[in-house]
Amino acid sequence: MVESPVLKVLLAVVPLLSTTLYLMGLSYHEGLLSGFGLESSLFPISSDRALLQGFFILIIVGFEPIIYTFFILLLVFLLLVVAVLVALDSRFKKVKQKVSPYIPKKLISDEATNVIGNGATSISYIVAVFCIILLPFYISYLSVQTGINHAEETIKRFEKGTGSWAELYEKGASTPTSVSEILCSSQHCAFWNGNESVVLSHESITKTVVHKKSNHNEK
């Protein structure tokens, strides 16, 4: 069975895309927890949740900065590839012969040409590896910063009394506490109470009443 070129490209791109989305989702999650000062071990994230979250973060962050970075690195790589091809092309030798009277012989010898070609090839491989390594780090950085920014925005909205908030009813407490819900795991829930992040087990929470629009400062 002969595989089409399109199928080969898809088989190569899908794992890379999945890994990128997972990395973005995981990095955002770590950034969000860091913004609230929470311990990541208390709020693990599943792989499917990280993939879904990575997809939304890709939309929020935007394709533009990632695409710009990718094309800049690609342009550098292509320029080096062109330099290698020119150095190894037979037509380059003809040009070299024409300009040879004006260039020192040590620079236009066959040995020097081979050194230049091999050096350019090595640099091309180094740049390619550098691009592959740098892009995930850059994407992770953007995702972490997005998580931190979202945490800061949530805190600011809560301080201003805007956005959604919740009444937290704890066991043994006579009155509810106004909080902003951060996230929950299978055992814990985290809330922002205006001063700090509070982590409570599910057993210690009676209920939470979420309010979408009203100002909690007016209570």
| Lowest pLDDT segment from 13-27, 98-112, 123-137 | 98-112
Quickly count: other Cβ atoms within 10 Å of residue 127's Cβ. Answer: 19
Q: How many residues does the chain have?
A: 219
Does position 42 have pLDDT exceeding 50, yes or no? yes
Q: What are the two backbone dihedrals, phi and then psi, of residue 23, each rounded to the nearest 5 degrees?
A: -65, -40
Does position 160 have pLDDT exceeding 80, yes or no? yes
Query: Which of 17-21, 63-67, 134-138, 157-161 tops mean pLDDT?
Result: 157-161
Q: In whole angstroms, what is the distance from residue 151 CA to residue 205 CA?
A: 23
Tell me what pLDDT residue 199 has.
94
Residue 17 or 186, more confident: 186
3-class SS letters over the chain? CCCCHHHHHHHHHHHHHHHHHHHHHHHHHHHHHHHHCCCHHHCCCCHHHHHHHHHHHHHHHCHHHHHHHHHHHHHHHHHHHHHHHHHHCHHHHHHHHHHHHHCCHHHHCHHHHHHHHHHHHHHHHHHHHHHHHHHHHHHHHHHHHHHHHHHHHHHHHHHHCCCCEEEEEECCCCCCEEEEEEEECCCEEEEECCCCEEEEEHHHEEEEEEECCCCHHHC
Does position 219 have pLDDT exceeding 60, yes or no? no
Q: What is the mean pLDDT of the chain?
A: 76
| Lowest pLDDT segment from 3-12, 14-23, 46-55, 165-174 | 3-12
Which pTM value belongs to this model? 0.69
- Which domains does the chain carry? 5-152 (no CATH), 161-218 (2.30.30)
Q: Pick from 82, 88, 59, 73: which is nearest to 127 by CA?
A: 73
Q: In whole angstroms, what is the distance from residue 33 CA to residue 35 CA?
A: 5
